[in-house]
Structure 1
Amino acid sequence: MVLLREGICPGATAQLIQALRDQNVVTVVQLASADIEDLAQKCSVSYKTLVAVRRVLLAQYSPFPSNGADLYEELLASTAILSTGNRSLDAFLDSGLYTGEVTEFVGAPGSGKTQVCLSLAVNIVCELKQRVLYIDSTGGLSASRLLHLIQEQVNNLEGQSEALQRIEVVRVFEVYRLLDVLQDFRTGFTHQVTGARCSVKAVVIDSVSALLSSILGGHQLEGMSLMMQLARELKTIARELNVAVIVTNSVVQDSGGGGGGGVKPALGRSWSYVPNVRVLLQRGTEGAAVQPMKRTATILKSSRQPTRISTEFDITSCGTLTTQTASSQHSTGDLDNAD
């Protein structure tokens, strides 16, 4: 609410402002919505002067109108799309991971969650030359494993060293520590106009379920409160700092699926509203000797892609992701009640 005052614009003299106040017109909104001809007569001021003052105030304080197309173009201009390092997964995710969003990979142990996180982190630091904050809560990240993946993309030692320096690794083993790390990151990002933190384009947390599962369930209201606090923090970081937030989550048996053997993402329905994109990773059929490391990715939630579409990719013996066939649209039996 903008109050009318002397000098707020040319022509806004003390006498005019006082005359308007005598008629209970004290804000720009009230002046803009008033009948100018009637107000000029009641205030005993020039109609032309009042019209001119209102025109200037409207130009100064009225928002410019915009339509949906303009807002969409503005969103596209401020959004970066980060490649996962795998062409099949990129196409599957509508070109890759979007900044401003929370993307969640869910799956059982051995489904490839950590490897996907490592692959996309390495691709961001090697190919895109951007920085990544990698938060490890499972002990799944080792320096040798990370270096090996970088060596697959960068040949010279100097380039490998630079890529390693672009990944900031933090190990956390409790949710309180995770919240501290995220809040420190957001504060540091906001206060530094330039610097290392400001070039961070992705925040990876592997895994959130490892930190939250032990404090949820039963009557542990504090656990639910902490989970919602973490959810707000992740959403805020993604939206306000324009970074891609990637988290991993485990799966639990879905007793209500009807089939008896289905799975669904852990952490419950409340957490299901947190990720903008949710992808289920599954290991290929056991006993397939020719492709023992084949994985299937299925979209459970997305605003851009239809759900239940799947794609296949390989994790090679050295840990890199390789493309399988193009995306195929089909439904998986154990996803009927994934959320």
Structure 2
Amino acid sequence: MVLLREGMCPGLDRELLRGLRGADIRTVEGLVSSDIEELAQKCSVSYKALFAIRRVLLAQHAAFPVSGADLYEELLSSTAILSTGNPSLDKLLDSGVYTGEITELSGGPGSGKSQVCFGLAVNISHHLKQSVIYIDTTGGMTASRLLQMLQTETSNTQEQMEALQRIHVFRLFDVHALLDCLYDLCGGGLQRASVGGGSVKAVVVDSVSAVISPLLGGKQNEGMSLMIQVAAVLKTMAKDFSVAAVVTNHVTRSSGGEVQPALGASWSHIPRTRVLLQPAPSARPFSCCSLRSATLIKSSRQPCDIREDFDLQWWSRGEEGPSGKRKLDETHDESSLVL
């Protein structure tokens, strides 16, 4: 509630303020929602003067509606769709990960979360010639693995090195260091990383739960506050700088024994898209099979609970995919690489 004060806008003087209070109008909300003609008679002021004051107060304190057409135009001008480099995952994600949003990959150990993040980073840096911020909180990121994946994309050593230079890696192992890094990126770090290497199109946090989960539960109220801060800065970064924020998350068991993403109900509202990675149903237990199943558990574009199986070795193939039938470039269409 905003109280009316003398001088808030031209014409709102002490005398008029006294008259409005006599009519039991003490707030901006009360004034703009009242019948102006009736109120003018009660306060003995001109209708035109009171209408002008109401209009100014509306402009200062009320949110004006935006048309659906304007929102759609903003979406078209600011959103890019970044392919993961894997056609099955792109199909599940409606062509790839979207800038301006947070996408979450959840799964247990060995489910392929990091492998998918590596593949996304390689695809953006090599094929799209854009930069990626990769925040590693588990120590699982290795330059040799990135190079191995790049070597399947090109045999040109210079192209491999240029792609590696566009992947900026931060190794951080606690939530305070993560927050400091994210705030620095918003304060100019994204622009600095873009110099000479294409603009930053994705920020990957692998994994967000590794630094937040130890602080949750029991009487550790600080953990929830820090988690909300991480969520807020990721959302702001994604929206304001048109980058895709991609985070990985661990899994837990529900009371019914079902596998679900960690970090609880509060975090579940943060990502726009959530994907659960698990061993494919066809994979034998405890085997070294690289087949994985990706299930869409939250999305604003696709039906939930749809599933796609994919092979983690897709990013380690040679000239042809694991099936030996087609090259990666043949799987790309105009909808999977929108920049």
Fold shared per TM-score above 0.5:
yes
The equivalent position to 2:311 in structure 1, one of 302, 311, 314, is 314
- How far off is 1:255 after superposition? 2.5
Residue 191 and residue 107 in structure 1: after superposition, are their counterparts in 2 closer, same or farther (change >3 A)? closer
Residue 194 and residue 84 in structure 1: after superposition, are their counterparts in 2 closer, same or farther (change >3 A)? closer
Give structure 1 stretches of 5+ with no counterpart: 6-16, 25-29, 44-49, 325-339
**Aligned: 1:302 with 2:287:** no
Does 1 or 2 have the higher relative contact order (CA < 8 Å, sep 6+)?
2
The equivalent position to 1:274 in structure 2, one of 266, 270, 273, is 270
Larger Rg: 1
Q: What is the aligned partner in structure 1 of residue 21 from structure 2?
A: none
Moved over 6 A (4+): 2-5, 20-24, 190-194, 288-291
**Aligned: 1:292 with 2:266:** no
Give structure 2 stretches of 5+ with no counterpart: 1-6, 18-30, 324-339
- How far off is 1:134 after superposition? 0.3
TM-score under structure 1 length normalisation: 0.73
Does the CA contact (< 8 Å) of 1:312 and 1:323 recur in 2? no
Q: What is the aligned partner in structure 1 of residue 253 from structure 2?
A: 253
AA partner of residue 302 (structure 2): Q
Cα distance in structure 2, aligned partners of 1:191 and 1:21: 50
State the percentage of identical aligned residues: 51
- How far off is 1:189 after superposition? 4.5
- How far off is 1:303 after superposition? 0.5
Please give the per-residue CA displacement for 1:243-283, whole angstroms capped at 9, x wherever unaligned: 100000111122334xxxx2111111111111110000111
Does the CA contact (< 8 Å) of 1:192 and 1:198 recur in 2? no
Q: What is the aligned partner in structure 2 of residue 235 from structure 1?
A: 235
Q: What is the aligned partner in structure 1 of residue 118 from structure 2?
A: 118
Q: What is the aligned partner in structure 2 of residue 209 from structure 1?
A: 209
Does the CA contact (< 8 Å) of 1:189 and 1:198 recur in 2? no
Please give the per-residue CA displacement for 1:98-145, whole angstroms capped at 9, x wherever unaligned: 001000000111111010000011000011111000011112111111
- How far off is 1:69 after superposition? 1.9
Cα distance in structure 1, aligned partners of 2:317 and 2:225: 38
Corresponding residue pairs, total: 301
Please give the per-residue CA displacement for 1:29-64, whole angstroms capped at 9, x wherever unaligned: x9xx989xx9xxx99xxxxxx9xx99xx9xx99x99
AA partner of residue 315 (structure 1): L
- How far off is 1:193 after superposition? 12
- How far off is 1:198 after superposition? 7.7
**Aligned: 1:68 with 2:68:** yes
AA partner of residue 311 (structure 1): E
Question: What secondary structure is seen at the aligned counterpart in 1 of 2:188?
Answer: helix
Does the CA contact (< 8 Å) of 2:276 and 2:294 recur in 1? yes
Question: Where do residues 39-54 of structure 1 align in structure 2 (5 Å cutoff)?
Answer: none
- How far off is 1:84 after superposition? 0.5
Cα distance in structure 2, aligned partners of 1:125 and 1:222: 37
Cα distance in structure 1, aligned partners of 2:186 and 2:266: 24
Cα distance in structure 2, aligned partners of 1:283 and 1:137: 23
Please give the per-residue CA displacement for 1:205-258, whole angstroms capped at 9, x wherever unaligned: 11111111211111111111111111111111111111100000111122334x
Does the CA contact (< 8 Å) of 2:113 and 2:277 recur in 1? yes
Cα distance in structure 2, aligned partners of 1:252 and 1:158: 43
TM-score under structure 2 length normalisation: 0.73
**Aligned: 1:96 with 2:96:** yes
Cα distance in structure 2, aligned partners of 1:172 and 1:160: 25
